[in-house]
Amino acid sequence: MWSGKYTAVDPSLLLNNIQDNLPHYANYRQQDAQEFMNHFLNLIHDEFSMKTTLITELFYGQLQSTVKCLGCRQTEITKEPFSFLPLSISNYNQKSVLYVKVDGEQRLVSIKVNSSIMFVNDLIDCFLKQHEPKLTRDRIRAVQLVNNVVKDLYDGWQSLRSIREEELAIVEYPEKSVHQKHIWCNFIDHSTNKVFRPPTLLICPNQNCTYLHLSDQIDQLLGHLCSTTNAPASAFHLYWIYRNEMRRTLKVEANTDEDLPSISSIQIAMATEWVDIYKKYYNTNHSTDKSMLASLLTDYFREDYLDGDYHCLKCSKSTVAQHKSYLCLPLPHVFIIQLKRFMYDVNSNEKIDTYISFPLYGLDLNEYTVTDNDNKPENSSSTKYDLIAVSNHTGSLLSGHYTTYAKNTKDENWYLFDDRYVRKLDSDKDIVTKNAYILVYVQKTG
Ligand SMILES: [Zn+2]
């Protein structure tokens, strides 16, 4: 099918076969995608009647667990096979939000929050304390940012539950007096007129605004664009917008005291070749920002203590022990991660909708892998992985729907699989969502 020789495959026979062998799936009840995948892989493995099969070679790795008794310092090492890594997200309490500053700087910030925060103002308070302790709450606004356009200003008492985290951004407001107002400065590609980055805010007088009132602020923004791209002054054109619709060239050299009546915003247009460099700079910068998935992996492999839970044979009693897990070499060719969104306990059953960012390319497992001297990775690429598929779950614990994003490695395109509908995606920018449940990574070769 991937070769392009066939357009579609009818999976009815496969389904019948699965239902014959795993009667559990014979009805049309809600099932868990991760459980099914596990059963399905085991079913194929069992049919080979061999110890090592294609399934174990592709999907299985080994986890090493080291437990050191703090009483007698005895270390116990155990190894067990695994075919997927279940990552807990219930204690995950960081939000990753884009922060846009007055001087043009933009960066993703991680905001540590506790589970009790409910409103936009709570989040802003956490942000100020952790990232901008010198600013006050009136200097910061949470906005809905979609494709670099501010669609909405969030109210401080708006519930965070009603906000899509991937659309949330924080914008710095410049300090102003009662005689001044804020206006947006938008950044557009000169040939397409499309915005290429989030806007910033400027201040200008309520009345009789001239270029002189804006020049220092605009120079600062041009300085930011130049320093990231090395673009020359000729790459820029300035416009001012009045009554929210009419656009005029902003005259910089001559008549700088010319009045700009009813000014509503400013546009900085940059030539396309420099826009491309700017976007590349920020994309690479953002993607090297540690993903939330990497933080979850760090949590999973973090050293912890088994306090009284460990029975040491040498001490012949319950003791405190140090515990740490590692991945063993060779790593599996296919690395499957389950984001544990479904919580079942005595008090409540719930689905966790937290947005977890994860990389499409270059997930590196090196720091979680055992590296003693006789067992080093042959080269660094053997610990690096690219995403090849995501299983998404929408809906609740009781009633939900699965879809899959999968990449065709022949044509390099991503496809959406939604029951009997299959659609090619225009780009890979919508792959990472809060619905992601199972992530399938494939080891990079060469
Ligand atoms: Zn001991």
Report the mean per-residue pLDDT for the chain.
Answer: 87
Length of the chain: 446
How far is the centre of ligand 1, averaged over its atoms, from the C-alpha of 373 (Å)? 27
Measured CA to CA, the distance from residue 240 to residue 251 in angstroms comes to 9
Q: Which of 334, 307, 342, 332 is nearest to 321 (CA)?
A: 307
Query: How confident is the model over 18-70, as pLDDT tens digits?
Result: 888 888 888 777 888 888 999 999 888 888 888 888 899 899 999 999 999 98
Confidence of residue 378 (pLDDT cuts 50, 70, 90): low
How far is the centre of ligand 1, averaged over its atoms, from the C-alpha of 65 (Å)? 16
DSSP conformation letters of 371-409:
--TTS--SSGGGGEEEEEEEEEEEE-SSSEEEEEEEEET
The whole-number pLDDT of residue 287 equals: 41
The DSSP secondary-structure symbol of 328 reads P
How far is the centre of ligand 1, averaged over its atoms, from the C-alpha of 372 (Å)? 24
Query: How confident is the model over 283-300, as pLDDT tens digits?
Result: 655 443 567 888 889 878
Measured CA to CA, the distance from residue 45 to residue 54 in angstroms comes to 8
How far is the centre of ligand 1, averaged over its atoms, from the C-alpha of 64 (Å)? 20
How many other C-beta atoms lie within 10 A of the C-beta of residue 196?
19
Confidence of residue 381 (pLDDT cuts 50, 70, 90): low
| Dihedral sign of CA atoms 9, 11, 12, 17 in order | positive
User: What's the Cα-to-Cα distance from 271 to each of 35, 187, 348, 395, rounded to whole Å?
Assistant: 52, 11, 55, 44
> How many separate helices (H) and strands (E) can be counted in the chain?
7, 24
How many other C-beta atoms lie within 10 A of the C-beta of residue 331?
20
Residue 135 pLDDT more than 80?
Answer: yes
Walk me through the domains of the chain, giving residue ranges and CATH numbers. Answer: 12-89+301-443 (3.90.70.10), 91-173 (3.10.20.90), 177-292 (3.10.20.120)
User: What's the Cα-to-Cα distance from 373 to each of 25, 188, 293, 377, rounded to whole Å?
Assistant: 47, 53, 28, 10
The whole-number pLDDT of residue 270 equals: 96
How far is the centre of ligand 1, averaged over its atoms, from the C-alpha of 76 (Å)? 10
Query: How confident is the model over 213-252, as pLDDT tens digits?
Result: 999 999 999 999 999 999 999 999 999 998 878 899 888 7
The whole-number pLDDT of residue 436 equals: 95
Q: Say which residues have a Cβ less than 8 Å from residue 406's Cβ, sequence separation at least 6.
A: 388, 389, 390, 414, 415, 417
**Most confident among 89-103, 141-155, 157-171 (mean pLDDT):** 141-155
User: What's the Cα-to-Cα distance from 429 to each of 137, 210, 283, 412, 443, rounded to whole Å?
Assistant: 32, 40, 12, 14, 21
How far is the centre of ligand 1, averaged over its atoms, from the C-alpha of 308 (Å)? 12
Q: Which amino acid is located at 271 in the chain?
A: A
The whole-number pLDDT of residue 92 equals: 55
The whole-number pLDDT of residue 245 equals: 80
How far is the centre of ligand 1, averaged over its atoms, from the C-alpha of 74 (Å)? 6
Q: What is the Cα gyration radius of the chain? A: 27
The whole-number pLDDT of residue 196 equals: 94
The DSSP bridge pattern shows strands 400-408 and 334-340 to be: unpaired
How many other C-beta atoms lie within 10 A of the C-beta of residue 348?
8
| Dihedral sign of CA atoms 389, 97, 340, 370 in order | positive
Helix (H) or strand (E) holding 68: strand 61-69
How far is the centre of ligand 1, averaged over its atoms, from the C-alpha of 353 (Å)? 42
How far is the centre of ligand 1, averaged over its atoms, from the C-alpha of 305 (Å)? 14
Phi, psi of 80, deg, nearest 5 = -140, 145
How far is the centre of ligand 1, averaged over its atoms, from the C-alpha of 69 (Å)? 5
The whole-number pLDDT of residue 5 equals: 72
Q: Which amino acid is located at 264 in the chain?
A: S
| ipTM score assigned to the predicted complex | 0.96
How far is the centre of ligand 1, averaged over its atoms, from the C-alpha of 73 (Å)? 6
How far is the centre of ligand 1, averaged over its atoms, from the C-alpha of 62 (Å)? 25
Residue 101 pLDDT more than 70?
Answer: yes
| Dihedral sign of CA atoms 327, 296, 146, 138 in order | negative
pLDDT (mean) for 116-135: 88
The whole-number pLDDT of residue 170 equals: 96
pLDDT (mean) for 358-387: 78
User: What's the Cα-to-Cα distance from 369 to each of 300, 331, 365, 375, 386, rounded to whole Å?
Assistant: 12, 8, 6, 10, 17
Measured CA to CA, the distance from residue 56 to residue 392 in angstroms comes to 25
Q: Which of 137, 139, 173, 142 is nearest to 159 (CA)?
A: 142
Least confident of 137-141, 256-260, 323-327, 431-435: 256-260
| Strand partners for 41 | none
How far is the centre of ligand 1, averaged over its atoms, from the C-alpha of 85 (Å)? 29
Query: How confident is the model over 69-99, as pLDDT tens digits?
Result: 988 999 999 999 999 999 988 655 677 789 9
How far is the centre of ligand 1, averaged over its atoms, from the C-alpha of 314 (Å)? 5
How far is the centre of ligand 1, averaged over its atoms, from the C-alpha of 82 (Å)? 28
The whole-number pLDDT of residue 396 equals: 83
How far is the centre of ligand 1, averaged over its atoms, from the C-alpha of 79 (Å)? 20
The whole-number pLDDT of residue 232 equals: 93
Query: How confident is the model over 335-352, as pLDDT tens digits?
Result: 999 999 887 766 667 788
